[in-house]
Amino acid sequence: MLMGNVTRDPELRYIASGKAVTDIGLAVNERRKLPSGEWGEETTFVDVTLWDRNAEVAGEYVTKGSPLLIEGRLKLETWEKDGKKNSKLKVIGDRIVLLGSRGEGGGRAEGGKGSRPERPARAGAGRGSDGHDPSTEGSSSGYDAEPSGSGGMGDDDIPF
């Protein structure tokens, strides 16, 4: 699993069999404490290949700078050029989650094997009788800003 920002706009293309494919770059930042006691940041650039619906979602919703969560597997590509053997480790993305809001070029669209992305939910849409919005599952604000009915959240409203 990798989380980072896209380094270039995706270029969606289709191969002869009709499958969609796109390659993106992902900048993954890691913040760590240096031996001097100060905090430093290290950026790792990762090449990611997306196929099928994931590639189409990236082509439609992702732009340079978009924050993404990518779940996938490593693949070692090898080739020979001018008599020299070369290799490159890259990620084949099996699932993507757009982390930013619509205004940031992101959204809540998700792609995965054989799945269609979730569309960003309208305010109030899809909420259950308890005010919980299942489209915000995993986010820090899964409840309405205004409490429903009882005038506040009680112990029964806390999800843990």
What b-and-e string marks burial along 20-48, b requiring 16 or more CB atoms within 10 Å of the CB? Answer: bbbbbebeeeeeeeeeeeeeeeeeeebeb
> What integer pLDDT is reported at residue 101 of this predicted model?
60
Task: For residue 150, give both structure tokens.
Answer: 């009882």
What is the number of domains present in the chain? 2
> 106-128, pLDDT tens digit by residue?
444 445 544 444 433 333 333 34
Domain that holds residue 126: 121-160
Q: Indicate whether 82 pLDDT > 90.
A: yes
Tell me the C-alpha distance between 64 and 10, whole Å.
8
Task: For residue 33, give both structure tokens.
Answer: 């404490």
Query: Are 89 and 139 contained in the same domain?
Result: no
- The reported pTM is 0.60
Query: Are 90 and 106 contained in the same domain?
Result: yes
Tell me the C-alpha distance between 131 and 138, whole Å.
15
Query: Are 77 and 109 contained in the same domain?
Result: yes
> What integer pLDDT is reported at residue 9 of this predicted model?
93
CATH number for the domain that contains residue 52: 2.40.50.140
Side-chain-facing half-sphere of 55: CA atoms under 13 Å: 17
